[in-house]
A and B are shown apart, each in its own frame.
Chain A
Amino acid sequence: MKMVIAYVRHEAFEPIRTELLSLGFPSLSISEVKGSGRQKGITERYRGAELTNYLRPKVKIECVVATKDLMTIVDTVLKHGRTGAVGDGKVFILPVEEAYRIRTGESGEETLQAHPDAATAAAS
């Protein structure tokens, strides 16, 4: 199991989420974060005085997947996250030791994506 942590532009998130959903990976979390990299800061002006803002807003996506699915996720992020300009963000891959589904107590790779029963449970 691997965890993908991707820092992307806000505009990139919705296409990534839509495509991952259609590929069968609905499980992910996001946080609104601010950070700095090679992207330059922007200067604000408030009644004559300047304030340079080096931390730029990004969306942080976290997603744990089976190792065999890793490159599917990474490719989707790269495909939709890239504009070619400085500030597109980064992707990091971390190993994950174990995963538990809280509702049932199950563990292992099967818990990572939608439960097989979920579709029928939602329909009923």
Chain B
Amino acid sequence: MRRTTLGRGALAAIAVLLALPAGALAQDGPSLEALVSEVNVTWVLVGTVLVFFMQAGFAFLEIGFSRGKNAGMGIAKILVNFSVASIVWWAFGFAIAFGGGGWLAGDTGFLFQFGRELDGSVATGETASFFIFQFMFCAVSLAIVWGTTLERMKFAAYVPFAIVFSGVIYPLIAHWGFGGGLFAEIGSGVQDFAGSSVVHLTGAAAALAAVMLLGPRKGKFGADGKPRAIPGHNMPLFGLGVLILWLGWFGFNGASTLGTADNRFAEVIAVTNLGAAGGVIGAMIIGRLLQRTMDIGMIGNGAIAGLVSITAPSGYVEFWAAPIIGLVGGMLVVACVLAIEKKLDDPVGALSAHGVAGIWGTLACGIFTSPRLAEYVGVGKEGLVYGGGLEQLGVQGAAVGLTFLTVFTLSFITLGAIKATIGLRVSDEEEDAGLDISEHGMYGYPEQFIPSAELVGYGGGPTATVPPAAVHALATKESPA
């Protein structure tokens, strides 16, 4: 069954092209409408898969930036949080985000099922593709939160926050930004194509609340109060994470077209790549000027910042604007990592790469949005450089402010409650030993921490399987005659 549907979906693009000039399809075949729907759903699901892969990107990025004693926990954390969020999103997150309703929150689609009502229509396969695609965004936002909490947060504190974040906090902002809520009513609408604010600033605002309540890792700040470097243990793994995120972003922005209409998704993907490239180059230049080195971590952060910056404008700007937006994002991320580092311990630079770049990307729409694309998407108006004045920029600024204040406040309250009950942080001894051994009972790299003498021990050495006579024969044969 599944194979047939997929086969029809893949053929549909060709079928549509062939059928259009003819004007009609054979009466007994699937209708043109059905084929268009299948092509759209196919592209959205390809995007879903790409955005899911970003979880691997976040895992590798965080693990590479952690010390070897905290390498294994990243895997457990990503898997458990993703799974908890999956179920919470199905139960009520999706309903709050996309269940119609007023400006504040949705009110239909709880415990989402095929055939049930969602926002005045009946859920179909298309709704299912939308449901799973939008969940991946929620999961990305949640993964961003943990960036500032590495190497010291209790595992038991992750789950309750994941429930509140993916069930209430993210869905609320997603409803405002993507679900026809509050942001549609500011001016002629807030332009946030794939979620510089809705996804990235949301994650970063919660991450800020988390780092303020958690405090820095032991040894991050010296006795003189100056920040010390705590180098991550594996830069190649970090780099792999960045490249996987870059790949995933083609789905993140590209499939936010929610279909293949007018081949807009190709333009969006091209713009996305130009933005990322600008980010890398911007970070490289500013990194070289401020630090006099081609810092690997900063160049990687620049790629992420470029991608985050271009996320909101990706559906609204022309090609020429994309490298500029990315370049500024990449420059900002280096300057902000260096500034934030002085006060807060953010091991992966999430506050800069997702927070600051997210704010910049959202504001960039107010500057660079082209009249052609504002009209095509049907949200807001042209930006500053096209003579649109400051109006759209003001609308974008309001969205940034509302997103940040709402998410920061709700996250601070939630994490504060967790701190008062379960506690957020592991003990000093557990932090020294590393979360792998203290929380998960085993190291991410056992051979690095357990002496090999003990790993091969326990009386089961290779010679024990060879009978004594054979050992004797071997010894005689090899000894010189």
Minimum CB–CB distance from B110 to chain A (whole Å) comes to 38
**With known contacts A11-B432, A44-B446, A34–B451 Cβ distance under 8 A:** yes
Q: Which of A11, A45, A53 contacts B450 (CB 8 A)?
A: A53
List B contacts of A46 (CB < 8 A): 441-442, 446
Q: Are A44 and B451 in contact (CB under 8 A)?
A: no
Task: Name A's interface SS.
Answer: strand
Report the bound CA distance from A97 to B19 in whole Å.
97
**With known contacts A11-B432, A57-B449, A44–B441 Cβ distance under 8 A:** yes
Number of B positions contacting A (CB below 8 A): 12
List B contacts of A51 (CB < 8 A): 450, 454-455
Q: Which of B437, B446, B451, B453 contacts A42 (CB 8 A)?
A: B437
Would you call B443 an interface residue if the criterion is a C-beta within 8 Å of the partner chain's C-beta atoms?
A: yes
Would you call A54 an interface residue if the criterion is a C-beta within 8 Å of the partner chain's C-beta atoms?
A: yes
Minimum CB–CB distance from A22 to chain B (whole Å) comes to 13
Which residues of chain A in 73-115 are interfacial with respect to chain B, using CB atoms and an 8 Å cutoff? none
List A contacts of B442 (CB < 8 A): 44-46
Minimum CB–CB distance from B430 to chain A (whole Å) comes to 12
Q: Are A44 and B437 in contact (CB under 8 A)?
A: yes
Which residues of chain B in 173-199 are interfacial with respect to chain A, using CB atoms and an 8 Å cutoff? none
Would you call A71 an interface residue if the criterion is a C-beta within 8 Å of the partner chain's C-beta atoms?
A: no
Instruction: With CB as the reference atom, state the residue of chain A lying closest to B453.
Output: A55
**With known contacts A11-B432, A42-B437, A44-B437, A55–B446 Cβ distance under 8 A:** no
List A contacts of B451 (CB < 8 A): 34, 53, 55
Q: Are A45 and B454 in contact (CB under 8 A)?
A: no
Chain A 1-31 near chain B by CB (<8 Å), digits 1 or 0: 0000000001100000000000000000000
Q: Are B441 and A55 in contact (CB under 8 A)?
A: no
Minimum CB–CB distance from B52 to chain A (whole Å) comes to 25
Report the bound CA distance from A44 to B453 in whole Å.
16
Report the bound CA distance from A45 to B432 in whole Å.
19
Q: Are A54 and B454 in contact (CB under 8 A)?
A: yes
Minimum CB–CB distance from B434 to chain A (whole Å) comes to 11
Instruction: With CB as the reference atom, state the residue of chain B lying closest to A46.
Output: B442
Report the bound CA distance from A81 to B454 in whole Å.
27
Q: Are A44 and B443 in contact (CB under 8 A)?
A: yes
List B contacts of A34 (CB < 8 A): 451
Report the bound CA distance from A51 to B451 in whole Å.
12
Instruction: With CB as the reference atom, state the residue of chain B lying closest to A14.
Output: B219
Chain A 57-82 near chain B by CB (<8 Å), digits 1 or 0: 10000000000000000000000000
Report the bound CA distance from A44 to B454 in whole Å.
12
Q: Are A55 and B437 in contact (CB under 8 A)?
A: no
Minimum CB–CB distance from B247 to chain A (whole Å) comes to 31
List A contacts of B454 (CB < 8 A): 51, 53-55
List B contacts of A42 (CB < 8 A): 437
Instruction: With CB as the reference atom, state the residue of chain A lying closest to B223.
Output: A18
Report the bound CA distance from A51 to B455 in whole Å.
8
Which residues of chain B in 333-363 are interfacial with respect to chain A, using CB atoms and an 8 Å cutoff? none
Minimum CB–CB distance from A109 to chain B (whole Å) comes to 33
Instruction: With CB as the reference atom, state the residue of chain A lying closest to B433.
Output: A42
Instruction: With CB as the reference atom, state the residue of chain A lying closest to B438.
Output: A42
Which residues of chain B in 446-475 are interfacial with respect to chain A, using CB atoms and an 8 Å cutoff? 446, 449-451, 453-455
List A contacts of B446 (CB < 8 A): 44, 46
Minimum CB–CB distance from B221 to chain A (whole Å) comes to 14
Interchain residue pairs A-B with the least CB separation, the first 6: A45-B441, A34-B451, A55-B451, A44-B442, A46-B442, A53-B450
Q: Which B positions have Cβ atoms within 8 angstroms of A?
A: 432, 437, 441-443, 446, 449-451, 453-455
In the complex, 25 of the A-B residue pairs with CB atoms within 8 angstroms, ordered by the A residue number, are A10-B432, A11-B432, A34-B451, A42-B437, A43-B441, A44-B437, A44-B441, A44-B442, A44-B443, A44-B446, A45-B441, A45-B442, A46-B441, A46-B446, A51-B450, A51-B454, A51-B455, A53-B450, A53-B451, A53-B454, A54-B454, A55-B451, A55-B453, A55-B454, A57-B449
Having A43-B441, A44-B450, one finds 12 other A-B pairs with CB under 8 Å, namely A10-B432, A11-B432, A42-B437, A44-B441, A44-B446, A45-B441, A45-B442, A46-B446, A51-B450, A53-B451, A54-B454, A55-B451
